[in-house]
Amino acid sequence: MGGLLPQGPSSATFRNVLRLLADFALFRAPDGSSVAEVDLGRGAGTLPKLIEEARSAGAQRLWVHATAVDADLGFRRLGGYARFEAEHLTNRVELARPPLDLVRRLQFACFAGVWGHHEPSEPDPSDTFVGLHEAGAWIGICELDPAAGWIDGPGVIPGLRTPDRYARLVRGAAALVQASPVGLETWGDSEDTIESYRQLGFTLLEYVPGWELIL
């Protein structure tokens, strides 16, 4: 559901891209704002030039994947992109499956304000999701592809975004995965949440810090 060029089978990123320009993608975030996103590791132009191009394209924010950026440009660090893999996962749990007609609304709530996540599309009936249901309400969601062994970044509603809840969503998704190894991709998670995935048995294969500039 997030990311500039997803590694997993989800096509949600490309369904929601408004425009693919020479150096960045322009899309809507879950809060409705227009965002330009660029990966500096893929040979994009210089940041001052990209900032001006993003403004000219009508973007309200610029999201950058980069090891570091010039602090004088006004960027703030907001998590990053992480890719994990696990051969043997322990402590899997069974989680409820949210109704399909609730999925998109729940994704909007769970990914609002989180770096790297694009506006969600209507789910396909063949898509698979698990959720967190607490005190009579849905408060978290995670997509997965059981046959491919792929778990998309989990999301939790604001105010309840604890590492334990993110890890519980991944544990619930892993319980349905049929393949090995299990892949996991996340966007915008905190360092504590990243560590919670490691404690489940995941190895961090790739990590790129994420940055945001309000235009």
Domains along the chain? 12-78 (no CATH), 83-207 (3.40.630.30)
Is the pTM here over 0.75, yes or no? yes
Chunked mean pLDDT (size 10), the chain, 215 residues: 46 42 77 89 72 90 90 91 90 92 96 93 94 96 95 95 97 91 95 96 95 94
| pLDDT of res. 183 | 96
| pLDDT of res. 163 | 97
Q: CB under 8 Å, gap of 24 or more: what pairs does 46-51 form?
A: 47/73, 48/73, 50/23, 50/24, 51/213, 51/215
What integer best gives the mean pLDDT of the chain? 87
| pLDDT of res. 12 | 42
